[in-house]
Structure 1
Amino acid sequence: MNDMTPVAKTTTIKDWETDQEVRWCPGCGDYAILKAVQRTLPEIGADPANTVFVSGIGCSSRFPYYMETYGFHTIHGRAPAIATGVKLANPALDVWLITGDGDGLSIGGNHMMHILRRNLDIQIMLFNNEIYGLTKGQYSPTSRIGTTSPSTPMGSVDRPASPCAFALGSGARFVARGFDVSKELPAVLKAGHAHPGAAFIEIFQNCIVYNKDVFNDFAAPKGAEDRQLWLRNGEPMLFAKNTKGIALDVEKLTLKVVDVVDGDWQAAGVIVHDVKNRSVAHMLVELPFGPFPMALGVIYDDPRPTFEAAVIEQNRKASEGRKPDLAALLAKGQTWTVTGTAQDPI
């Protein structure tokens, strides 16, 4: 290590907790996500003085108040625009964007698409509870068909959006999934932070009031091993205590569930997870739950140059060999002088 190598900041979870009362509904999944983040940041050597949390509007967007860092609680759907400005103004900052399925995929869908395709080097955590919690339980872009709510009393007929499919379609280079109370969530957050570029992490979050236990079909502890496929790069896609796996149906060019006999996953045709395989990533995020387990963990991770790096290099080239002169810049092009007195007609 030389003198220019940054030294990791030594902190504890207490260094990331504010003096603000954490105010979500009792039992809300946001509490577990908050603690997962506060546990993760000391382990990656993050520095509170160099960290910024940016949020939009919604229950999840209270997050910056509870992190002892810099933060912006912005406007509905526009957190990506603010986060882009923060990162371009100071690329050395560690920027985290907190949003929800309504904030990020409804009014903010356009902004989310552009921050992903531009590949700004930030971590994006989208809390997905499949409902509008803050505004009293209306259905959201991710609500399932048939969801009854104040705005869909007869059941929603909208086909829900898939956040991870949206991210991949927008050009995201890192896509992952977790859920609020999972012990695996910190590892997913660490992987997202290590990725140079926009890291999109969908986190299934239980809304205790308006959409209670909607994710129990795969997140409930009992029998979870049969319903969860935790993806790990370089390892076979196995679940159900390694008695089942995911294989490629060559004829249909789709994925299928296969039985694994005596642990011989290779004979069963189970595929090995490759985080750089974009085609398989698209198939994994679209797997219908029920016939298939829920794909969780790092689904896709294939870095490319970041947006702010390109902007910095472009600015460097533009200013190379030039002396800053604001007066000359203002006088460049068409100029004119206004003469006369206050009494003269205009």
Structure 2
Amino acid sequence: MSSDVRFTDFKSDKQPTWCPGCGDFGTMNGMMKALAETGNDPDNTFVVAGIGCSGKIGTYMHSYALHGVHGRALPVGIGVKLANPNLEVMVAGGDGDGYSIGAGHFVHAVRRNVDMSYVVMDNRIYGLTKGQASPTSRQDFETSTTPDGPQMPPVNPLALALASGATFIAQSFSSDAQRHAEIIQKAVEHDGFGFVNTYSPCVTFNDVDTYDYFRDSIVDLSEEDHDPHDREAAKEKILEGDKEYMGVIYQDDDSVPWEKREGIDQDMSDIPDGAPEDAMDLVREFY
């Protein structure tokens, strides 16, 4: 790994087509800064994304990347990490991609606890398809397809992660550049599945969950007497439905990633046809 890599080294030559002011710009910058600060470089980084406004992020970042199908970014990322444990794998998605069609994959990725990070750009709306209610939209959020609101309580991704056995749960705000990068860096450094739900406002279709709303509402856990290693304290914070928290909410320092527990440390991406039987035994054992 390079010791003098800068976050700008992770920028590709493709210009983002997000709406001016989109929160995803800040989310991506924080991802790049976190990767650089942890000593990674484009040659050892793999970014996976699904569908939605967040889906093109691998195109806008200079690294190995794959733009997958809707809701399936996590299993692809897991496959990449297990095929080559030496890679730094970061999966990016949106609230629709991750908590709707991809919710089942999210639960089981949390359970498996592979050493990778997952950054979700939560704008509480479907932005790419022009403003429908998403799994994290408010119950009374009016859209063209839900004129009276979804009439369902929003998904609480942090509670879903905790109930599934997460070893790292955090929340950030794309507009707070320094804190956002710090939080993602902690997720990257964590031994296991590092989950970060990021408030990433949609300036075009969501006039409720705005930058001003989050700036006025967010409580930074670094300024509170919160112990992220206390699971019960984390549960209390997560279930406080009237507050928007930022920071590391829960972290298990005793976490052992799945691939370490299973003894997977070989780069299988270079195994040729006619590979040694012990290498193929490893593949058969996993599948």
Q: Distance in 1 between matches of 2:262 and 2:98?
A: 25
Identity %: 37
Is 2:194 the partner of 1:199? yes
RMSD: 2.1
Among 59, 82, 106, the alignment partner of 1:88 is: 82
Is 2:162 the partner of 1:162? no
> 1:127-276 residue pairs with structure 2 within 5 A?
127-183=121-177, 184-216=179-211, 218-220=213-215, 224=216, 227-232=217-222, 237=224, 272-276=225-229
Find the counterpart in structure 1 of residue 269 from structure 2.
Answer: none
Q: What is the CA-CA distance between 1:313 and the residue it aligns to?
A: 5.4
> Does the CA-based 8 Å contact 1:16-1:68 persist in structure 2?
yes
Provide TM-score, normalisation by structure 1: 0.73
Q: Distance in 1 between matches of 2:34 and 2:264?
A: 32
Q: Which has the higher contact order (CA 8 A, sep 6+)?
A: 2
Find the counterpart in structure 2 of residue 279 from structure 1.
Answer: 232
- Residue 300 of structure 1 aligns with an amino acid whose one-letter code is Y
Q: Distance in 1 between matches of 2:219 and 2:103?
A: 28
Q: What is the CA-CA distance between 1:42 and the residue it aligns to?
A: 2.2
User: Which digits, 9 at most, give the CA deviation of each residue in 1:224-258, with x for residues without a partner?
Assistant: 4xx432123xxx72xxxxxxxxxxxxxxxxxxxxx
Q: Distance in 1 between matches of 2:233 and 2:221?
A: 12
Tell me: CA distance 1:19–1:216, structure 2 relative to 1, closer, same or farther (3 Å). closer
> Does the CA-based 8 Å contact 2:192-2:256 persist in structure 1?
yes
* Partner SS, residue 199 of structure 1: strand
Among 294, 302, 326, the alignment partner of 2:252 is: 302
Q: Distance in 1 between matches of 2:47 and 2:247?
A: 22
Find the counterpart in structure 2 of residue 111 from structure 1.
Answer: 105
Q: Distance in 2 between matches of 1:131 and 1:109?
A: 16
Runs of 4+ in 1 over 3 A off after TM superposition: 215-218, 323-326
User: Any gaps of 5 or more consecutive residues in structure 2?
Assistant: 267-274, 282-287
Tell me: CA distance 1:17–1:313, structure 2 relative to 1, closer, same or farther (3 Å). closer
Provide TM-score, normalisation by structure 2: 0.88
Find the counterpart in structure 1 of residue 18 from structure 2.
Answer: 24
The structure with more radius of gyration: 1
> Does the CA-based 8 Å contact 1:207-1:213 persist in structure 2?
no
Q: What is the CA-CA distance between 1:305 and the residue it aligns to?
A: 1.2
Q: What is the CA-CA distance between 1:314 and the residue it aligns to?
A: 10
Among 6, 12, 24, the alignment partner of 1:12 is: 6
* Partner SS, residue 169 of structure 2: strand
Q: What is the CA-CA distance between 1:213 and the residue it aligns to?
A: 4.8
User: Which digits, 9 at most, give the CA deviation of each residue in 1:6-65, with x for residues without a partner?
Assistant: x65311233111111111011111111122222332222211100000011110111100
* Partner SS, residue 312 of structure 1: coil
Q: What is the CA-CA distance between 1:212 and the residue it aligns to?
A: 3.0
Provide the aligned length of Structure 1 versus Structure 2: 269
Q: Distance in 1 between matches of 2:131 and 2:213?
A: 22
Q: What is the CA-CA distance between 1:105 and the residue it aligns to?
A: 0.6
Q: Distance in 2 between matches of 1:212 and 1:18?
A: 31
> 1:335-346 residue pairs with structure 2 within 5 A?
none
Is 2:5 the partner of 1:55? no
Q: Distance in 1 between matches of 2:149 and 2:208?
A: 18
